[in-house]
Amino acid sequence: MDIQSLNDRQRQAAQATEGAVLVLAGAGSGKTRVLTTRAAYLIEKGVPPYHILAITFTNKAAAEMKERIADLVDDVRDMWVCTFHAMCARLLRIEGESIGYGRNFTIYDAGDSLTVVKEILKELDVAKDFLNPRSAKAMISRAKNAGIAPGRYINVYGDDTAGKMTARVYGKYEDRLIGSNALDFDDLLLKTLKLFKEHGDVLEKYQRRFAYIMVDEYQDTNSVQYDIIRLLAGGHGNLFVVGDDDQSIYGWRGADITNILGFERDFPGARVIRLEQNYRSHQHILNAANGVIRHNKGRMGKELWSDIDAGQKPLEFEARDDMEEAVFIAEKVHSILREGRYNPSDIAVLYRVNSQSRMLENKLKERGVPYVIYGGLSFYERKEIKDIVAYLNLVCNEKADLCFSRAVGVPKRGIGGVTLEKLGAAAYEKGIPLLQACETAGGFLPKKAAATLKGFADMIGGIRQDMKQQTLLQTVESVFIKSGMKKEMQGDDTAEGKMRLLNVEEFLRSVADFERNAQPPVTLEAFLERNALVSDVDTVGDQDDVIMLMTLHSAKGLEFPVVFIVGLQEGLLPHQMSLAEGDVEEERRLCYVGMTRAKKRLYLTWSATRFLRTGESFSIVKSERSRFLGEIPKGCLEQSEVKRTASAHAPAAKSQSPFSLTQGGSGMPSFRPDISKKAEHPPDAFVAGKVVQHPRFGKGKVLSINGEGEEKIAVVKFENGGEKKMFVAFAPLKIL
């Protein structure tokens, strides 16, 4: 292991092995390298991997971290490298019986949790316009992340009518999950905290085991995660956290920035190391980003710098309206791809709210630019996948009533809502799960329905028995066949039916991959846990032939050579909600995160007007330039000027492939200089100091250069015209 290859600050951090340490790591400063090197350094010093716990926020980051540590040292199999939720799930599988949970508990995803809330609201006869299911689920999640139990809900959040009803729904929701031996994502954290607080012997066991704790993205921790880590580190104090207060953007979902700002207060004697050298972006991009974030008061303070050769300054574009803004982006992306320097996957378009993507999509389609919207329907959210997963969860956990309700109706067996209500009433009266109630359904249901339910329960029991002698893949295939799902899908000759079958085949392949690569024991529970905890961010970058459209929140942790940030105007970025609350610091951090995703080129766009609803109709509303653009230091931005040849609202002809050398579309505004007159010399020939001749301005000298390719801009001082900025790819300049 070559620790000398780290820079001075990184090396200090990697070798800081004892006590509390906060590494304040700026964007692109090599924090993952520090974390992996430190873990390897500990192992080389003689610390067994068994005693090291490394926590990060995505499965993808955890897998990458463990792989990189394995490249540095021989054996890391016993080291826990995982997300918070994966760590807690693993702990509860081992120790959960101490607080009343069987090891075969089911993990409910967001969709499952919402279904339970909807069922409870229906039982209570609560109208949606009084308490929306999604709002109720969000409020329950907020309470859980704050560690507020149902009994304390109204004391904290108010005892008005809505508050009392939410508390009641919350209580029933908790009872429903406990009865089903199920946990939602929030519970994984909360129940682990409960386990540690109520069972000191268990806490001491894991304090001894995890003698060295490392936490990535510490600024994103919520109060429950903070409490878990503080308890685990309480026995030895060896807590090493890496984070960036300037990238704390998840306050709306419970992240508490005071965890990182107050680290030195919470851990007296803690050492703080700042990583300020950026290895991602060139200095022009960092100058702009530093200028923005410098306006925040709630920060510890640092200044990013880079020794990467300075490239193109960020370009600002002011559109007349939001449609022209979308046209500019689509045509600029089209132009960049024509240059041949970047692949589609090198380009990201970022926006504050999802609704901004609609117009962008339309204009990208018109030009044949390939794109994908990050955050769309996940593979595991597809109906056929959720159906088969419901069966698998029921095989593992007979108490999973929600999974029973889904599985028993796929394929259709003639079991309707009335039958299920009677079955549910009987199960409730006897205090048993729905699957178990099927065994005695003959006592309260018609003969045909009772026989169908008994057959269903027998099928599940048979699969559970058979899987003791089967591989994981054989068990999943058995479910697919014996449930009747395979026969039903094979009988559907439509394009959608064939696609569903292909999706299940891909799911089976994921089972085979898991079985081949997972550490033993390879169980159905472990596979289902892996799927429940997977995040859609883990798949970003898997497609090379599309540009990425995503929200600014989703972009955190990613990087792209070319980045567009759309809608930099008051009310969008910063968002109207933050303006109304009088606090824009998190919005400023969000803007900073977006800007620091860019490696080579950064485009910042906004529109002077937008077409919005005002009252009962839609009208054109004037917009103000975002204050964040105004906070970028003078001279750090280039203004992207356009040659408008038509209204942005004119229809466009479908372009050829974005890789074509000819420009598609007609009658659209042209967001580049007139290309009918090409310059005599290629852009690369123009460098500072060159003497040039212009037909109108005469002789001049190139003072500076910014940008590359068709966007290369020269500042030329002419004898007759003073200083001028020109696109060298198209200006009539002759090098003398």
Calpha distance 255→225 (Å, rounded): 9
Query: What type of residue sits at position 79?
Result: M
Calpha distance 369→329 (Å, rounded): 11
Q: What angle do CA 221, 223, 226 make, to 5 degrees?
A: 60
For the question of residue 77 being annotated catalytic, the response is no
Residue of 216, 384, 525, 587 with catalytic role: 216
Residue of 217, 321, 346, 638 with catalytic role: 217
Q: Which residue, 249, 334, 308, is CA-closest to 599?
A: 308
For the question of residue 525 being annotated catalytic, the response is no
For the question of residue 258 being annotated catalytic, the response is no
Instruction: Give strand pairing partners of 547.
Output: 371
Residue of 9, 280, 597, 672 with catalytic role: 597
Q: Strand (E) positions, 527-642? A: 547-551, 560-565, 598-607, 609-614, 617-622, 638-639
663 CB neighbour count, 10 Å cutoff = 17
Q: Which residue, 501, 511, 535, 526, is CA-closest to 383?
A: 501
Nearest 10 degrees: CA dihedral of 475, 481, 483, 485? 120
Q: Are 319 and 325 in contact (CB under 8 A)?
A: yes
Q: Strand (E) positions, 222-363? A: 239-243, 271-275, 315-319, 347-351
Residue of 12, 15, 32, 277 with catalytic role: 32
Query: What type of residue sits at position 555?
Result: A
For the question of residue 523 being annotated catalytic, the response is no
For residue 623, give the 3-state DSSP assignment: coil
652 CB neighbour count, 10 Å cutoff = 19
Q: Which residue, 341, 342, 361, 343, is CA-closest to 351?
A: 361
Calpha distance 317→330 (Å, rounded): 13
Concatenated DSSP letters of 335-382:
HHHHHTSS-GGGEEEEESSGGGHHHHHHHHHHTT--EEETTS--GGGS
For the question of residue 247 being annotated catalytic, the response is yes
For the question of residue 674 being annotated catalytic, the response is no
88-106 in b/e form (b: 16+ CB < 10 A) is bbbbbbebbeeeebeebbb
Tokens of residue 151, six digits: 């009994």
Tokens of residue 35, six digits: 């974390």
Q: DSSP assignment, residue 315? A: E
Q: Are 88 and 227 in contact (CB under 8 A)?
A: no
Q: Are 42 and 13 in contact (CB under 8 A)?
A: no
Q: Strand (E) positions, 239-290? A: 239-243, 271-275
Query: What type of residue sits at position 689?
Result: G
Q: Are 586 and 245 in contact (CB under 8 A)?
A: no
391-420 in b/e form (b: 16+ CB < 10 A) is bbbbbbbbbbbbbbbbbbbbeeeebeeebb
User: % helix / strand / coil in the chain, to the nearest 5?
Assistant: 50, 15, 35
Q: Are 609 and 623 in contact (CB under 8 A)?
A: yes
Residue 83 phi/psi, 5-degree rounding, is: -80, 165
Helix or strand holding residue 474 (H, E): helix 472-482
Residue 214 phi/psi, 5-degree rounding, is: -125, 135
Strands 21-25 and 271-275: parallel
Tokens of residue 320, six digits: 């007349």
For residue 305, give the 3-state DSSP assignment: strand
Calpha distance 224→262 (Å, rounded): 16
Q: Who's near 213: CB < 8 A, 6+ residues apart? A: 53, 55, 229, 232, 233, 238, 239, 240
Residue of 36, 166, 247, 475 with catalytic role: 247
Residue of 9, 31, 601, 610 with catalytic role: 31
Helix or strand holding residue 40 (H, E): helix 31-44
Query: What type of residue sits at position 180?
Result: S
The catalytic residues are 31-32, 216-217, 247, 597
